[in-house]
């Protein structure tokens, strides 16, 4: 059984689908030819021992996995290892770069061949590609080789850490889970005996999260915590490989001088002490400063220090931003103090990310720009006030986060009706996304009672003493005795139709064709060119979303 990246991607895609998908629809979604889709289905079926579990596309219906098939597919992905999985060229290069960046041992060509299980020429070609790609990066990192050191990354210490953090983000947040599992396995095998990569240290760090948050007086975003636990050991190993020669020593100390005045640095010291007491692992000064930077840079859901006088200049700039937003639009913001507090919490972390080059990406940017295009453009224009004050350039990812926060506080006028249903929202995507999702649900469900917005942990603590008609959630694995409707954080037309369907019929439909499928079929009847048809479908859906969502903000003003 040999599954490559594309096979695993298809397998994960099919497991995520709640309705039937035709081969044509799958082909469009994954940007692969139908022939390729059939080819990978055959490979998956070969790997499934029981013929009764084989994946079959039914005429005019497509593919829909049974629960038994889903379980078999989950086991198949869990069993994929380095002998079964064929890495793409990009995955090979990511694996080599990570090992070169964190390993204390001398990395030779032979070791890279053993690591990637490809020929000498293939590794040499990959290394040449890496050298070229590094010239396109902003971090000024180069790949060097010498007899004494083997292959190594040459850069200013802070630049190297920034680059490794960016590399780890792309690996753990964007790559195939099967590849990530193989990467972890191969790195741990190559760095055999490295305590930082052990399961014991991983469990220890997980248990430290509540203590760290308590010491900080802050609640770190759930997704940021998950990412930090995954990448922290690799970043610390990367710090250990940094050579701090004399001419760089004073420069690095100066760059980290402000960090050492923050509470995050004190908390980092405490965690280092507990790590040493438990495992004998020592934190260097660079390690402590790195962890403090990460704690400062990650998004927060709560921060008791948001009203601190230290950030008065931040608050004043954001007050001007809110005033400018209202003066330039027909939209009115309600609960301005709550919005201001949330923006202060968010922008504190944003500015530390900008100052220390910590890479972060907003997974909702494309959806925000598509479905809230007018609000996004207005926010971007108004954010020039912040850019000028803080002397920074905000990316579209950062503008999208501001759009989420502002969108959650635009004025809303509820309808009054006695025969309403009680609805709870469960969302682990952070305060900004939760607030915006609440705003969307209130607009589409004006006659229902949106009782509360919970994280999964909060909801589970009160589930047994509450009564609710429907749970609307962004979480994939939420289980409850109440009806659960999974939606995207930025509601798609499909989500809106499913919500209104439940309100009308009181039934969660799990079968039948989706709106997207029906639209694709209708367009395909009149347009044979699949690329033109796909483009038209995208534009129609965009128009529908704009009418459904953006107009809501304008009408309420």
**pLDDT tens-digit profile of 254-274?**
777 778 888 999 999 999 999
What percent of the chain is predicted at pLDDT more than 70?
89
Distance CA 384, CA 268 (A): 34
Nearest CA-CA partner of 371 in 556, 554, 543: 543
Beta bridge partners of 134: none
Average pLDDT across the chain, whole number: 84
- What string of DSSP letters covers 468-491? -SEEEES-TT---SS-EEE--SS-
**pLDDT tens-digit profile of 11-62?**
888 888 877 888 888 888 888 888 888 888 888 888 887 888 888 888 878 8
State whether the Cα torsion 120-125-128-129 is positive or negative: negative
Task: State mean pLDDT over 131-160.
Answer: 90
Nearest CA-CA partner of 81 in 2, 6, 135: 2
Residue of 443 and 544 predicted with greater confidence: 443
- Contact call for residues 461 and 426 (beta carbons, < 8 A): no
Confidence of residue 110 (pLDDT cuts 50, 70, 90): very high
Q: What is the pLDDT of residue 249?
A: 56
Distance CA 260, CA 271 (A): 15
Distance CA 457, CA 219 (A): 13
Q: Mapping DSSP to helix (H, G, I), strand (E, B) and coil, where does residue 17 land? A: coil
Task: State mean pLDDT over 285-294.
Answer: 89
- Contact call for residues 356 and 294 (beta carbons, < 8 A): no
Q: What is the DSSP letter of 259?
A: G
Q: What are phi and psi of 239, to 5 degrees?
A: -65, -40
Distance CA 459, CA 468 (A): 11
Q: What is the pLDDT of residue 20?
A: 83
Q: What is the pLDDT of residue 550?
A: 45
Residues whose CB is less than 8 angstroms from the CB of residue 178 and which lie 6 or more positions away in sequence, other chains included: 3, 5, 8, 77, 80, 85
Q: What is the DSSP letter of 107?
A: B
The yes-or-no verdict on residue 204 having pLDDT over 90 is: yes
**pLDDT tens-digit profile of 303-345?**
888 777 778 889 999 999 999 888 877 778 888 899 999 999 9
Residue of 465 and 187 predicted with greater confidence: 187
Distance CA 151, CA 422 (A): 61
Nearest CA-CA partner of 110 in 167, 81, 151, 153: 151
Altogether, the residues listed in the chain come to a count of: 557
Q: What is the pLDDT of residue 510?
A: 54
User: Per mean pLDDT, which range of 209-223, 307-321, 516-530 is the poorest?
Assistant: 516-530
Q: What is the pLDDT of residue 193?
A: 81
Task: State mean pLDDT over 435-444.
Answer: 84
The yes-or-no verdict on residue 7 having pLDDT over 50 is: yes
Residue in this structure with the two tokens 């439909």, named with its chain if needed: 509
- Contact call for residues 302 and 455 (beta carbons, < 8 A): no
Task: Count Cβ atoms below 10 Å from residue 432 Cβ, excluding itself.
Answer: 26
Distance CA 351, CA 353 (A): 5
Task: State mean pLDDT over 192-204.
Answer: 90
């Amino acid at each position: 059984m040999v599954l490559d990246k594309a096979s695993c991607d298809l397998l994960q895609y099919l497991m995520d689908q709640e309705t039937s998908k035709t081969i044509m629809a799958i082909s469009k979604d994954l940007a692969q030819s139908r022939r390729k889709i059939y080819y990978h289905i055959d490979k998956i079926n070969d790997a499934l021992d029981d013929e009764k579990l084989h994946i079959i596309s039914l005429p005019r219906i497509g593919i829909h996995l049974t629960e038994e098939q889903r379980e078999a597919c989950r086991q198949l992905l869990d069993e994929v290892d380095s002998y079964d999985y064929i890495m793409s060229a990009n995955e090979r290069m990511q694996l080599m770069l990570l090992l070169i960046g964190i390993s204390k041992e001398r990395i030779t060509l032979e070791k890279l061949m053993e690591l990637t299980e490809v020929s000498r020429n293939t590794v040499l070609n990959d290394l040449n590609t890496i050298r070229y790609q590094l010239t396109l990066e902003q971090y000024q990192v180069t790949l060097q080789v010498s007899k004494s050191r083997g292959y190594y990354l040459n850069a200013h210490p802070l630049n190297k850490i920034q680059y490794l953090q960016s590399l780890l983000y792309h690996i753990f947040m964007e790559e195939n889970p099967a590849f990530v599992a193989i990467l972890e396995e191969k790195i741990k095998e190559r760095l055999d005996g490295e305590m930082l990569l052990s399961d014991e240290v991983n469990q220890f760090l997980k248990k430290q999260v509540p203590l760290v948050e308590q010491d900080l007086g802050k609640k770190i975003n759930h997704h940021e915590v998950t990412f930090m636990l995954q990448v922290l050991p690799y970043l610390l190993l990367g710090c250990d490989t940094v050579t701090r020669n004399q001419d760089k020593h004073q420069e690095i100390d100066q760059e980290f001088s402000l960090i050492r005045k923050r509470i995050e640095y004190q908390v980092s010291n405490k965690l280092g002490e507990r790590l040493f007491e438990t495992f004998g692992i020592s934190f260097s000064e660079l390690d402590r400063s790195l962890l403090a930077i990460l704690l400062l840079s990650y998004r927060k859901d709560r921060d008791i220090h948001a009203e601190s006088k230290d950030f008065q200049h931040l608050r004043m700039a954001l007050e001007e931003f809110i005033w400018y937003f209202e003066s330039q639009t027909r939209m009115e913001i309600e609960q301005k103090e709550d919005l201001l507090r949330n923006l202060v919490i968010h922008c504190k972390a944003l500015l530390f990310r900008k100052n220390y080059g910590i890479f972060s990406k907003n997974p909702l940017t494309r959806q925000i720009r598509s479905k809230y295009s007018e609000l996004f453009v207005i926010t971007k224009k108004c954010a020039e006030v912040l850019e000028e004050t803080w002397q920074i350039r905000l990316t579209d990812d950062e503008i999208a986060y501001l759009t989420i926060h502002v969108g959650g506080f635009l004025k809303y006028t509820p309808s009054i009706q006695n025969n309403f249903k009680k609805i709870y929202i469960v969302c682990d995507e952070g305060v900004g996304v939760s607030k915006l999702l609440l705003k969307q649900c209130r607009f589409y469900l004006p006659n229902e009672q949106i009782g509360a917005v919970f994280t999964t942990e909060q909801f589970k603590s009160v589930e047994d003493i509450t009564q609710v008609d429907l749970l609307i959630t962004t979480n994939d694995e939420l289980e409850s005795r109440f009806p659960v409707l999974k939606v995207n954080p930025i509601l798609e037309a499909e989500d809106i139709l499913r919500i209104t369907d439940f309100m009308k019929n009181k039934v969660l439909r799990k079968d039948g064709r989706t709106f997207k499928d029906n639209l694709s079929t209708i367009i395909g009847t009149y347009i044979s060119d699949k690329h033109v048809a796909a483009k038209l479908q995208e534009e129609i859906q965009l128009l529908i979303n704009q009418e459904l969502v953006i107009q809501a903000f304008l009408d309420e003003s």
